[in-house]
Amino acid sequence: MSAPTTTSADRTVTPGFGQTLRSEWVKLTSVRSTWWTVVAIFVIGGGLTTLMGWANADWLASAEADESVGSFVTWGMMIAPVAAVSLGALAVTSEYGSGMIRSTFAATPARGAVLAAKALVVAGVLLVVGTLAALVGYVGSNHFFAAEGIGLPLEGDVARAIYGSGLYLAGIGVMTVAVGFLVRHTAGAISLMLAVLLVLGNMAMLVPGAFGDWLVKLMPGNAGSPVSTVVSFNPDLLDAWPGFGVFVAETALLVAAAWLLLRRRDA
C-alpha cells in the first residue's frame, strides 16, 4: 500500500500579517469614500483654521481679546474628528454591510490580525493626513497672525499641537475601528463615536462635584484633544500628554473588547 501524499491543493495557506496589512491597505485606498474623507480633513483642518485666523486676527491683536492666539492655530482640528470617525467606521462596517467580511475572515482565519491590520492602516492614514492638515492650517492662520504682530513660531507647544493633531486623529480612527467591530453597523458606529467625543464630554459638565470634574477630564474627547491644541479652550482639562495617555488607555480597552468579541461570535 502506498503512503498518502499531500498536494499543494490540500494545504490551507494562512496569509502572514504583512499580506493581511497589504490587503487592508488596498481595500481602504481603492474606495472613493477614503479620498473624500482625506479631502474633508484638509478642508476642515486646514481651510477652517485659515479662515478663523483671517476672521479673528484683528480681534486677537486687540486689548479686548480674551482668548489666546494658540487656541486658534489648530482650530479646525476640533472638527476634523468627524471625518476621522467616518473613515474608521467605514473601514469595518462597509464589509459587514456588503457581506465581504465573510470572505475576509475566510482568507485570514486569525481575526485578531484583521482587526490589527485595519487599525494600523486607518491610524497610519490619519496620522499623516492629520499632521499635514494641521500644518496647512497653522501656516495659513499664522500668516494673518504674523501680519498683526502676534504670530507664533513653529516650536514647542505649537509643534506639539501639529503632530499631536495627527496622533489624536489616528487614535480616534483606531477607537472607531474597534467600535465598528463591536456594533457592526455604519450609522451606529458613527453615531456612538460622535456622541462620545462631542456630546457626552459636554454633558458631563452637568455632573456636580469632584466626581463630575474628573468625569469631564476623563471623557475620551476631552482627554485626547488637548494634545492637538497649543492652548485649550477649556483650562480645566488634563494637560496634553497625561490626557493623551488616558485616551490611549481607553482606546486600548475598546480594542481588547472588540478582539474578544470578534473571536466569539459569527461574522
pLDDT of residue 12: 54
C-beta separation of 167 from 80 below 8 A: no
pLDDT of residue 106: 87
Q: Does 10 have pLDDT greater than 60?
A: no
Cell numbers standing for residue 89: 467606521
Classify residue 100: in a domain, yes or no: yes
CB atoms under 10 Å from CB of 96, counted, come to 19
Write out pLDDT tens, residues 221-248. 999 999 999 998 888 899 999 999 999 9
pLDDT of residue 264: 85
Alpha-carbon gap, residue 92 to 38, rounded angstroms: 17
Mean pLDDT for the stretch of residues 147-157 = 94
Count how many domains the chain has. 1
Classify residue 230: in a domain, yes or no: yes
Classify residue 231: in a domain, yes or no: yes
Range of the domain at 204: 16-264
Classify residue 160: in a domain, yes or no: yes
Classify residue 117: in a domain, yes or no: yes
Q: Helices in the chain by DSSP H: which ranges?
A: 17-29, 32-41, 49-60, 81-98, 100-107, 111-147, 157-183, 186-194, 200-203, 209-218, 220-224, 240-264
Write out pLDDT tens, residues 190-210. 999 999 998 988 898 889 888
Classify residue 159: in a domain, yes or no: yes
Classify residue 52: in a domain, yes or no: yes
Question: What is the overall mean pLDDT for the chain?
Answer: 90
pLDDT of residue 13: 62
Classify residue 1: in a domain, yes or no: no
